[in-house]
Amino acid sequence: MTDSAAQSSIKFKLFLMMILEIAIWGAWQIKIFSYMGMLGFNPDQQWLVGSSFGIASIVGIFFSNQFADRNFSAERFLAFSHLIGGIALIATAFQTSFWPFFGCFITYCLLYVPTISVTNSLAFANLKDPAKDFGFVRMGGTIGWIIVSWPFIFLLSEKAGASETKWVFIVAGIISLVLAAFSLTLPHTPPRKDVEGMDKVAWLKALKLLANPFVLILFIVTFIDSTIHNGYFVVIDGFLQKVGISANMSMVVSSIGQVAEIVTMLILGAVLKKIGWKITLILGILGHAARFGIFAFFGAPENQWLIIAVQVLHGICYAFFFVTVYIFVDAVFPKDIRSSAQGLFNLLILGVGMVVASKIFPQLLAKYTTNGVVDYKQLFLVPTGMALAGILLLALFFRPPTHGPEGEVKH
């Protein structure tokens, strides 16, 4: 096999790896909060379960850097984690009381979350030109999120109850077991003995950069936006069913956002060069304000077409804000602390934001529910207001040192 053919084979395997990796997550994310409502879990119990992924994200950032990368070959680590994680997911499907459900689910989360960074590391280690090819490989994850929604058209009925909805965990578990087996076919990627672990000095320097006003403002707004972004997943399934979208189609409708994300990612580089950091970030959080605003004021069955159409804003919300934050950190922060700075913002996006959203949004649902009917207008005005506050902070106080991708922050 020629080098070119071998590299194409590796890229395709890594692409499939990403499809399976993110499909596991996408299988349960949209339905989990409505499912917990069916099981009768109260808002605090929903918060604990909803925080599991965020807690595991925080733990995983340290675990994957300190332990996994240095002690296991990447493909074997993935195989073990997805084997046990898949079993835990399937077990989750058959738990109807809180503590057994929570125990199974957090076990899965603690095993799954480190694999997100490990799959990225494995891809970078085995691509000949990561800068050129990683975008294609990572797009597999977005495609995985989209295609995993389709089996539920057949597995769920139009008004699926708990006995059917548990299939989201079974499907996720099956995909995890498939990926466990597939991981053993991936290129051998030995432990990274050169990794020095978490550089405490770099992390301290990254934290000290919060003394820069524009870094502090970006940090605060990222926290706001990550809370809004994760809150969307808490409430979207119930809301879509309220406007007349059946239980077996809500995941498909929500996945329209991931289709839009692919398109938005293709134009992001050109947009950043044209309008710069600040306006791109504002457009990203404006997408959240517009989406939640439309949900609030047009959230009736007769506007179902509009609710479906507005899902495309997810691409703008995600790419124009979160991906731009990652690019901004890589382009602007000093080289010796970029990795730690990325980890710092990841703590917000995948960790703290998810924990806070899992606390606030079930409470909002409970607060605005009367006789079993949710006042979604009042509920959605809360994240709309949060998004508008973030826009004002960026517009008035965010002054990046460069217009677009160039330059570095001074120590």
Q: At what angle do helices 167-183 and 3-29 cross, to 10 degrees?
A: 160
Reduce the DSSP state of residue 199 to 3 states and report it.
Answer: coil
pLDDT of amino acid 194:
54
DSSP letter string over 308-376? HHGGGHHHHHIIIIIIHHHHHHHHHS-GGGHHHHHHHHHIIIIIIHHHHHHHHHHHHHHHTEETTEE-H
Closest CA to 295 of 285, 310, 283, 282: 310
Tokens coding 78: 């993935």
CA distance 183 to 68: 15
Q: Name the residue with tokens 């087996």.
A: 181
Amino acid at 205: K
Q: Are 85 and 112 in contact (CB under 8 A)?
A: yes
Amino acid at 318: Y
Q: Are 57 and 151 in contact (CB under 8 A)?
A: no
Residue 370 phi, psi dihedral angles, 5° rounding: -130, 120
Task: Kindly tell me the burial class for residue 70, based on how many C-beta atoms sit within 10 Å of its own C-beta (0-12, 13-18, 19 or more).
Answer: middle
The 10s digit of each residue's pLDDT in 151-169 is 999 999 888 899 999 999 9
Q: Are 311 and 233 in contact (CB under 8 A)?
A: no
Amino acid at 267: I
Q: Residue 369's beta-bridge partner residues?
A: 374
Tokens coding 131: 């800068």
pLDDT by 10-residue block (mean), the chain, 411 residues: 77 95 96 95 94 85 63 89 97 97 96 87 82 79 93 90 95 98 93 56 75 92 96 94 93 90 86 92 96 96 95 89 87 77 80 92 94 94 97 96 64 46
Q: Name the residue with tokens 């499909």.
A: 23
Kindly state the DSSP code that residue 400 receives in the 8-state scheme.
Answer: -
Q: Is 15 left (phi over 0), alpha (psi -120 to 50) or beta?
A: alpha
pLDDT of amino acid 67:
65
Q: Residue 373's beta-bridge partner residues?
A: 370
Amino acid at 399: R
Amino acid at 81: S
Closest CA to 16 of 78, 65, 68, 60: 78
pLDDT of amino acid 279:
96
Q: Are 142 and 22 in contact (CB under 8 A)?
A: yes
CA distance 107 to 118: 18
The 10s digit of each residue's pLDDT in 137-146 is 888 998 999 9
pLDDT of amino acid 378:
97
Residue 373 phi, psi dihedral angles, 5° rounding: -110, 125
Q: Are strands 369-370 and 373-374 parallel, antiparallel or unpaired?
A: antiparallel
pLDDT of amino acid 144:
94
Tokens coding 276: 């710069």
CA distance 395 to 281: 10
Q: Residue 374's beta-bridge partner residues?
A: 369
Q: Are 170 and 90 in contact (CB under 8 A)?
A: yes
